[in-house]
């Protein structure tokens, strides 16, 4: 890897990178090399895969730039323990504070992914966490401006989710979607946040409903 960083010719040839953060060494590399002081070291990077991703502010900042200016494809799989805190933990515990910070960063990321700033063509997300899905649901439904809060370039969306309520919210944000693949954590039981019907869905996004 250092060989790539020391050669602008080699680094400029890289168009696809896959980081698996289950490896602690790789986890350090992600922030030290790929997102080094907000400088993008791979100018022609078009596809980025982050497995077992752990949210950090440098990552959010760099992804904000990448999805707006560079990437065509993004695949994100989040570490499940990012958002798991035992019930016995006190409210003022650093674990709880970190969980709230993680959730805030996740909502910020989703606001960027499904906005007019995002230039992605293909997005794959694994957000198979029930409580996190509810936070994202409220994030996507609050302060929604159709003229700004939609991604017009996204054509392919593959998403794993725990709450059915997110489906309509996501479709609403991607008017030019051509291929949608949805995987639910369990059977398609409508959760408490789901308040829709086919007629309403057709009216909200007729272009996608007719495809």
CB 79 within 8 A of CB 50: no
Find the CATH number of the domain harbouring 8. Answer: 3.80.10
Distances (CA, A) of 124 to 23, 52, 155, 168: 21, 13, 11, 17
- The tally of domains found in the chain comes to 1
pLDDT per residue over 142-185, tens digit each?
Answer: 666 777 788 999 999 998 877 777 777 788 889 999 999 988 76
Strand order in the sheet with 47-53: 16-20, 47-53, 73-78, 122-127, 156-161, 179-184
72-131 per-position pLDDT tens digit: 999 998 776 655 444 444 454 444 446 677 777 877 888 889 889 999 999 998 876 645
State which residues form the domain around 122.
2-209
Residue position matching structure tokens 């949805």: 182
Residue pLDDT, tens place only, 69-87: 899 999 998 776 655 444 4
- Comparing C-alpha atoms, which of 75, 85, 36 is closest to residue 53? 75
Across residues 6-28, what is the average pLDDT?
76
SS (H, E, C) the chain: CHHHHCCHHHHCCCCEEEEECCCHHHHHHHHHHHEECCEECCCCCCEEEEEEECCCHHHHHHHHHHHHHCCCEEEEEECHHHHCCCCCCCCCCHHHHHHHHHHHHHHHHHHHHCCCCCCCCEEEEEECCHHHHHHHHHHHHCCCCCCCCCCCCCCEEEEEECCCHHHHHHHHHCCCCCEEEEEECCCCCCCCCCCCCHHHHHHHCHHHHCC
């Amino acid at each position: 890897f250092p060989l790539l960083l020391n050669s602008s010719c080699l680094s400029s040839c890289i168009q696809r990178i896959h980081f698996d953060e289950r490896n602690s060494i790789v986890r350090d590399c992600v922030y030290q090399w790929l997102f080094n002081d907000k400088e993008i070291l791979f100018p022609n990077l078009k596809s980025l895969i982050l497995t077992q991703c752990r949210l950090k502010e440098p990552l959010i900042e760099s992804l904000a730039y990448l999805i707006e200016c560079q990437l065509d494809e993004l695949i994100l799989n989040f570490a499940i323990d990012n958002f798991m805190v035992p019930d016995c933990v006190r409210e003022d515990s650093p674990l709880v504070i970190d969980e709230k910070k993680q959730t805030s960063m996740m909502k910020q990321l989703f606001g960027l992914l499904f906005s007019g700033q995002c230039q992605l063509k293909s997005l794959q997300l694994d957000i198979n966490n029930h409580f996190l899905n509810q936070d994202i649901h409220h994030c996507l439904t609050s302060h929604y401006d159709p003229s700004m809060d939609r991604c017009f370039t996204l054509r392919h969306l593959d998403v794993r989710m725990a709450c059915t309520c997110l489906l309509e919210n996501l479709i609403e944000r991607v008017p030019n979607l051509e291929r949608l693949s949805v995987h639910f954590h369990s059977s398609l039981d409508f959760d408490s946040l789901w308040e829709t019907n086919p007629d309403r869905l057709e009216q909200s996004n007729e272009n996608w409903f007719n495809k």
